[in-house]
Structure 1
Amino acid sequence: MGKIIIAIDGYSSTGKSTIAKQLAKALNYIYVDTGAMYRAVTLFAMRHGFIGGEKDDLEKLVQSLPQVDLKFVYNKSLGFSEMYLNGENVENEIRALPVSRQVSKIATLEQVRIKLVQMQQKMGEDKGIVMDGRDIGTVVFPEAEFKIFMTASPETRAFRRYKELLDRGEKVSYEEVLKNVQTRDYVDSHREFSPLRKAPDAIEFDNSDMGLKEQLERIHNFALRKIEG
């Protein structure tokens, strides 16, 4: 049975990473969370004072991109790979709200996207991969055999994200998270370079009223049909 590329795109906090991770495990495929890559570059920019201060210096960030080394390292106890930035495990730090507030700004930079897309395409050369993000089915792998575009109402996504952040011990309000979700939706959909959009051949998957188990079962069945041809 041949292997395929599975591209999962969609809005923030639709559970793309969770589904992609579980689907890859069920199929014995490699999972790549491209959002983690953009978050890691964002964290790098924040740590070096390129963003988040009184004035952003995005040009300096672009000049510093050769200093950014990103790797996914598999954690056997967790059952998935974690993001490493220049040799440091930053998996937890990149999921926090301060990074979420800044990541869309970094994702609009053409030079950043070019660098990360090249890395992502290299990862998928041998297929047998599940990759999620914003432009996987449209830019990274337009030839992917199976594409999904995940969506849900902003309120549903904000509530899910709010609960996730509370579980991590962060002090946030639902209103703050909802505003962040809505802002990211707008920026991601309206950026000039590689905007978030549904590929013409992607299956739209609205999970507003769907539990995780049902989502996985349905998407897994879709994937098996594509794999079996």
Structure 2
Amino acid sequence: MTSITSSRTRPIVAIDGPAGAGKSSVARRLAERLGFVLVDTGALYRTVALAAQRDGIAFDDAEGLERLTHSLVAANAIAFAPAQGREPRVSFSGEDISDAIRTPEMGMGASIVSAHPGVRAALLDLQRKLGEGGGVVLEGRDIGTVVFPDADVKFFLTASPEVRATRRFEELVAKGQSVTFEGTLEEVKKRDAQDMNRAHAPLRRAPTAILIDSSGNTVDETVSKMADIVLAHGKNVNTGEEG
């Protein structure tokens, strides 16, 4: 298993939080603001869910999913490419699947497959390898608690279920999907319960994570607040800023 380095010269920024809190947008813009690399861990699990669906592997087939995930990691089948002002593009065996993994079905699928210890273990080393050098922003459910418990700056980004459902509903409508607000809110609450109550690596706030409630803030306001916090740690984590 890849060890977690403590000699990095640039910080690791971990962002955890529930679905719909805006982690993807905030993490992307924060990485751009700081000049860091964004590692979208949620996209990894969504990709596993999509690959499983295509291979006819049920989301509750723990052994099948573990074998599949190990094969994807061994083949370096998952890759990220930056996209200025948008979520990173994700490719699977050379195919751009960025849009295919951003559906409600794949979101729920990612929540289910990520609950399997074998899948998480298979992706753990990959996540650590992508972020171990520092100068990265990682977002997910267990970045600050499991993947990088020694991250230099940890955030727990959240918002009320109603605010998160509204954001998700507007996003899906903009993509032309036929959804209702009530159905979206129910999905958000179901996803919260599923993520917080799973037996392995449940969603929780790390003891040292800074709570950021984005309910009444724009993405830019949230990013500015978080960037100030990261830069304030500059002298301790060698960002090059005077802090």
CA contact (8 A) 2:39 2:139 kept: yes
Q: Distance in 1 between matches of 2:87 and 2:113?
A: 25
- Given candidates 123, 131, 138, the residue that maps to 2:130 is 123
In the alignment, is residue 72 of structure 1 matched against residue 80 of structure 2?
yes
Q: Distance in 2 between matches of 1:154 and 1:183?
A: 11
Q: Distance in 2 between matches of 1:118 and 1:101?
A: 23
Q: Distance in 1 between matches of 2:171 and 2:100?
A: 14
Alpha-carbon offset, residue 159 of structure 1: 0.7
Match of 2:12 in 1: 5
Q: Distance in 1 between matches of 2:57 and 2:86?
A: 34
| TM-score normalized with structure 1 length | 0.92
Q: Distance in 2 between matches of 1:163 and 1:105?
A: 24
Match of 1:63 in 2: 67
Change (3 A) 1:179 1:79: closer
Q: Distance in 2 between matches of 1:78 and 1:205?
A: 22
Match of 2:156 in 1: 149
Runs (4 or more) in structure 1 with deviation over 6 Å come to none
Match of 2:4 in 1: none
Match of 2:222 in 1: 215
Q: Distance in 2 between matches of 1:49 and 1:174?
A: 31
- Given candidates 40, 46, 51, the residue that maps to 2:47 is 40
* One-letter identity of the residue aligned with 1:95: R
In the alignment, is residue 176 of structure 1 matched against residue 183 of structure 2?
yes
Q: List per-residue Cα deviations over 1:162-209 (Å, max 9, x = no partner).
A: 100111111111122111111111111111111111000000111111
Gaps of 5+ in 2: 1-8, 237-243
Gaps of 5+ in 1: none
* One-letter identity of the residue aligned with 2:132: E
Q: List per-residue Cα deviations over 1:82-107 (Å, max 9, x = no partner).
A: 11122211111111112123221101
Q: Distance in 1 between matches of 2:227 and 2:68?
A: 40
| TM-score normalized with structure 2 length | 0.87
CA contact (8 A) 2:50 2:106 kept: yes
- Given candidates 46, 53, 57, the residue that maps to 1:50 is 57
CA contact (8 A) 1:50 1:58 kept: no
Q: Distance in 2 between matches of 1:39 and 1:222?
A: 30
Match of 1:23 in 2: 30
**Aligned pairs, number:** 224
Q: Distance in 2 between matches of 1:159 and 1:170?
A: 14
Q: Distance in 1 between matches of 2:31 and 2:187?
A: 29
